[in-house]
Amino acid sequence: MGEAEWLWAVATCVKALLIPTYRSTDFEVHRHWCALTSALPLARWYSDASAPCCPLDYPPLFAYFQRILALPATALGGHPSDLLRLSPSSPSSAPLPVLIYLRVSVAVTDLVFLLAAARLAHRRLPPASRRLVLVLLLWSPALLIVDHIHFQYNGYLLGILLLSLSFLEEGKDLAGGLAFAVLICSKHLFLVAAPLYFVYLLRHYCRGGSWEASRRFLTMGAAVGAVFAAAFGPFLYYGQMQQVLSRLFPFGRGLCHAYWAPNFWVFYILLDKVLSFVLLKLGFDIPAPKASFTGGLVGNFSQFAVLPQVTPLITFLLVIFAMSPCLIKAFQKPQPKHITRWVAYAFTCGFMFGWHVHEKASLHFTIPLALISVNNLDDARHYFLLSIVSCYSMFPLLFDPQEYPIKVLLLAIHSILMWIGFSSCFRVEVAPGGTKTNNSIASNGKQGFIGKFGTIYLLGLLGVELWGQLLHPYIFGSRLPFLPLMLISIYCAAGMMYSWVWQLRQILKCS
């Protein structure tokens, strides 16, 4: 058994221990999708409204994936089995066979993630760095929390993304483009990187003389078009495309999720509230917002009291604008060695400025950035801070007391392993002349591994957690229940903004 397989086996043992833990409503959503795709004809998959709480809102390839998961359901007992029951119920009331089956299905589909991680790590890294990167990927605490406790299939989807990146790094652009097409036909939130893929493949794959460039462009277009035809063709045939698109892009959900994702819009909302408070005190007639962000309400009218209203089009333009330095670099000089960094930055832009972003979307860039975290000490420092912030921002997903020690332990172990791994990877290296190399921790003087800024910021993160767990209940009791969550969003958003700016600087320095 190779090191990748061994690390995956250890992770699988941990996942088995997490089977009886809390599962969110996403568990029931995915169970219902298995039932829906099994019991109803394809023409009704995206129009069925029998369960308003669980509408099918992923692209068709994921719906086909759910249909495949439903195939062995009859072996779980009952007729029809509990897995294929169309009427939704509480996730906590799921029968044990259904619980085990769906939990195991997530772990099994993680084999795609293992394959992609091993492929990338073995191709591009020496043994010591390879082992560290595999630990960062296969033992990711954020992925364990989101997929194997909260319940989703991000490992399977991120595995497809990593496969696409591995093909692009190897110069296999056609395979990379195909894999990305499969990915966005499985989960449309990855569509944010499509502009970068288009520019990169146009300039790197469709090169040569006019005839050769045209042939390559048509080949790529036909291959990607075939994936979309296979995914969406049946729904186009049944006249369901409008219904499918309305499910995939429900812009009426509002700018922010009930729990604010730690991105740019946290500061925008906060500024609006501060300005409205000040102006009201000064006697100005300020209209009250129609939906309270701090109250956890997300509706069609998430209005701002003072600042200009934000629409989906504005967020789209902001994402493209933020991504433009990366697009320009990819257009001017497309290089496979930079593609992973560029894709990670594109997803970061989507996370920071996108419409109705969930905190779980930070996985889209933290996972690719693990691959380049061993490039140099600066990348290692950045990833160490970012991965902790990303994981901590997901703590509110697990709000039951019995899961609290689990999430704290997962993050603590991960942080210790990162510290040991990066310290070993960038240990003191002495050049022949007796001087320390620039790519070592010791060459950075007394700053240590993460420096003063990183140390102070992480201590502040600990302070935010102590406030939410101890001080807030002691001081306010049951009053202001939104305040601890708001502090987590604001503080983590500061770390995410730093990460975005840092990544932008690296993009600009790419040559």
Q: What percent of the chain has pLDDT over 90?
A: 63
Write out the two tokens for 272: 């609006």
C-alpha to C-alpha distance for 159 and 170, rounded to whole angstroms: 17
C-alpha to C-alpha distance for 140 and 279, rounded to whole angstroms: 45
pLDDT at 396: 92
CB atoms within 10 A of CB 311: 12
pLDDT at 429: 46
The DSSP-derived string for 48-113 is --S-TTS---S-HHHHHHHHHHHGGGGGGSBTTBGGG--S---GGG--HHHHHHHHHHHHHHTHHH
Residue in 188, 190, 224 with CA at minimum distance from that of residue 206: 224
C-alpha to C-alpha distance for 479 and 111, rounded to whole angstroms: 45
Confidence of residue 91 (pLDDT cuts 50, 70, 90): confident
pLDDT at 431: 44
pLDDT for residue 297 is more than 50:
no
* Rg of the chain, C-alpha, whole Å: 24
The set of residues, in sequence order, having a beta carbon less than 8 Å from that of 78 and lying 6+ positions away, is none
Confidence of residue 281 (pLDDT cuts 50, 70, 90): confident
C-alpha to C-alpha distance for 494 and 500, rounded to whole angstroms: 10
Write out the two tokens for 113: 């993630």
Q: Which amino acid is at 255?
A: L
pLDDT at 196: 97
What is the arithmetic mean of pLDDT over 232-242? Answer: 92
pLDDT for residue 291 is more than 60:
no
Q: What percent of the chain has pLDDT over 70?
A: 91
Residues making up the chain, counted from first to last: 511
pLDDT in tens, 259-274: 789 999 999 999 988 8
HSE-up of 311 (CA within 13 Å, CB side)? 3
Query: From the centroid of its chain, how far is CA 200?
Result: 22
DSSP symbol at 149: I
C-alpha to C-alpha distance for 291 and 295, rounded to whole angstroms: 8
Residue 263 contacts residue 358 (beta carbons within 8 Å): no
DSSP symbol at 183: H
Instruction: Report which listed range, 82-86, 295-299, 356-360, is most confident.
Output: 356-360
pLDDT for residue 442 is more than 70:
no
pLDDT in tens, 147-185: 999 999 999 999 999 999 999 999 999 999 999 999 999
Question: Which run of H or of E encompasses 207?
Answer: none
pLDDT at 320: 97
pLDDT at 357: 92
Placement of tokens 């380049």 in the chain: 372
The DSSP-derived string for 412-474 is HHHHHHHHHHHHHHT---B-TTSPBPTTSSGGGGGGTTTHHHHHHHHHHHHHHHHIIIIIHHH
pLDDT at 252: 74
Confidence of residue 338 (pLDDT cuts 50, 70, 90): very high
Q: Which amino acid is at 44?
A: R
Residue in 370, 374, 371 with CA at minimum distance from that of residue 426: 374
C-alpha to C-alpha distance for 278 and 146, rounded to whole angstroms: 39
Instruction: Report which listed range, 94-108, 363-377, 425-439, is most confident.
Output: 363-377
pLDDT in tens, 5-42: 899 999 999 999 999 998 888 999 999 999 899 889 99
pLDDT at 479: 82
Confidence of residue 286 (pLDDT cuts 50, 70, 90): confident
Placement of tokens 């020496």 in the chain: 126
Please, what sign has the CA dihedral across residues 83, 88, 93, 99?
Answer: positive
Confidence of residue 335 (pLDDT cuts 50, 70, 90): very high
In 138-270 the beta strands, taken as DSSP E runs, fall at none
C-alpha torsion angle, residues 110, 112, 117, 118 (rounded to 10): 110
Q: What is the mean pLDDT of the chain?
A: 88
The set of residues, in sequence order, having a beta carbon less than 8 Å from that of 17 and lying 6+ positions away, is none
